[in-house]
Amino acid sequence: MVAAAQTPPSSSIKVAALRGLPILGKLLDFRRDRLALHDACVRAGDLVRFPMLTRHVWCITTPELVQELLVEKEASFKKAPGLAVYGKALLGEGLLTAEGDRHRRERKLLAPAFSPRRIASYGAAMVSLTERAAAGWRPGAALDVAEEMMHLTLAIVGRTLFDADIAGDARVVGDALTQGMEFMVDRLSLPLPMTWPLPSNERMRQVVAQLDEVVFRIIAERRAAPGDRGDVLSMLLDARDDDGSSMTDQDMRDEIMTLMLAGHETTANALAWTWYLLTQHPEAYGKVFAEVDALGHAPTVADLPRLPWCLQVIQEAMRLYPPAYAVARQCEQPVQLGPITVQPGEVVMITIRGIHRRPDLWPDPLAFRPERFTEDAIKVRPRHAYMPFGAGPRICIGNHFALMEAQLILATVARRWRFRLIQHADIVPEPLITLRPKGGVHVEAIAR
Ligand code: HEM
Minimal-distance CA residue to ligand 1 atom 16: 327
Give the Cα-Cα-Cα angle 220, 221, 227 (nearest 5 degrees): 105
Considering the domain 62-447 in this protein, what is its CATH number? 1.10.630.10
Mutate to test the pocket of ligand 1, among 266, 269, 349 (most ligand atoms within 8 A of CB): 266
Rounded to the nearest whole angstrom, what is the distance from the C-alpha of residue 145 to the centroid of ligand 1? Answer: 22
Distance 258 CA to ligand 1 centre (A): 10
Q: How far is the CA of 43 from the centre of ligand 1 (A)?
A: 28
Interatomic CA distance for residues 182 and 189, integer angstroms: 11
Are 158 and 260 within 8 A, CB to CB? yes
Distance 153 CA to ligand 1 centre (A): 14
Give the domain ranges of the chain: 62-447
Ligand 1 proximity of 394 Cβ (cutoff 6 Å): yes
Question: Which atom number of ligand 1 is nearest to the Cα of residue 106?
Answer: 41
Q: Measure the CA–CA gap between 285 and 277, rounded to whole angstroms.
A: 9
- At 129-155, the pLDDT tens digits run 999 999 999 999 999 999 999 999 999
The atom of ligand 1 lying closest to the CA of 352 is 10
Contact 396 CB / ligand 1 (< 6 Å): yes
Ligand 1: which residue has its CA nearest to atom 2? 267
Ligand 1 proximity of 270 Cβ (cutoff 6 Å): yes
* pLDDT score for 3: 44
If you measure from the C-alpha of residue 128 to the centroid of ligand 1, how many angstroms do you get, rounded to a whole number? 24
State if residue 13 touches ligand 1 by the CB under 6 angstroms criterion: no
For residue 323 and ligand 1, the question of a CB distance below 6 A is answered with yes
Distance CA 40, CA 43 (A): 5
34 ligand 1 Cβ < 6 A: no
Q: Of how many residues is the chain composed?
A: 448
**Residue-level pLDDT at 159:** 93
Q: Report the alpha-carbon distance of residue 25 to residue 53 in Å, rounded.
A: 6
Nearest CA to ligand 1 atom 7: 389
pLDDT of residue 11: 59
Ligand 1 proximity of 160 Cβ (cutoff 6 Å): no
- Tell me what pLDDT residue 81 has: 81
CB of 272 closer than 6 angstroms to any ligand 1 atom? no
In this prediction, the residues of the chain whose per-residue pLDDT falls under 50 are 1-10
Ligand 1 touching residue 87 (CB < 6 A): no
Q: List pLDDT tens digits, range 274-317.
A: 999 999 999 999 999 999 999 999 999 999 999 999 999 999 99
Rounded distance between C-alpha atoms, residue 259 and residue 409, angstroms: 19
User: What distance in angstroms lies between residue 205's CA and the mean position of ligand 1's atoms?
Assistant: 24
**Do 304 and 318 meet the contact criterion of CB atoms below 8 Å apart?**
no
Ligand 1 centroid, distance to 74 Cα (angstroms)? 17
Does 180 contact ligand 1 (Cβ within 6 A)?
no
Instruction: Write a three-state SS string for the chain.
Output: CEEEEECCCCCCCCEEEECCECCCECHHHHHHCHHHHHHHHHHHCCEEEEEECCEEEEEECCHHHHHHHHHHCHHHEEECHHHHHHHHHHHCCCCCCCCHHHHHHHHHHHHHHHCHHHHHHCHHHHHHHHHHHHCCCCCCCEEEHHHHHHHHHHHHHHHHHHCCCCHHHHHHHHHHHHHHHHHHHHHHHCCCCCCCCCHHHHHHHHHHHHHHHHHHHHHHHHHHCCCCCCCHHHHHHHCECCCCCECCHHHHHHHHHHHHHHCCHHHHHHHHHHHHHHHHCHHHHHHHHHHHHHHCCCCCHHHHHHCHHHHHHHHHHHHHCCCCCEEEEEECCCEEECCEEECCCCEEEEEHHHHHCCCCCCCCCCCCCHHHHCHHHHHCCCCCCCCCCCCHHHCCCCHHHHHHHHHHHHHHHHHHEEEEECCCCCCCEEECCCEEECCCCEEEEEEC
- Report yes or no: 421 and 279 within 8 Å, Cβ to Cβ: yes
Cβ of 397 below 6 Å from ligand 1: yes
Q: Cα(69) to centroid of ligand 1, in Å?
A: 17
C-beta of 256 in contact with ligand 1 (< 6 A): no
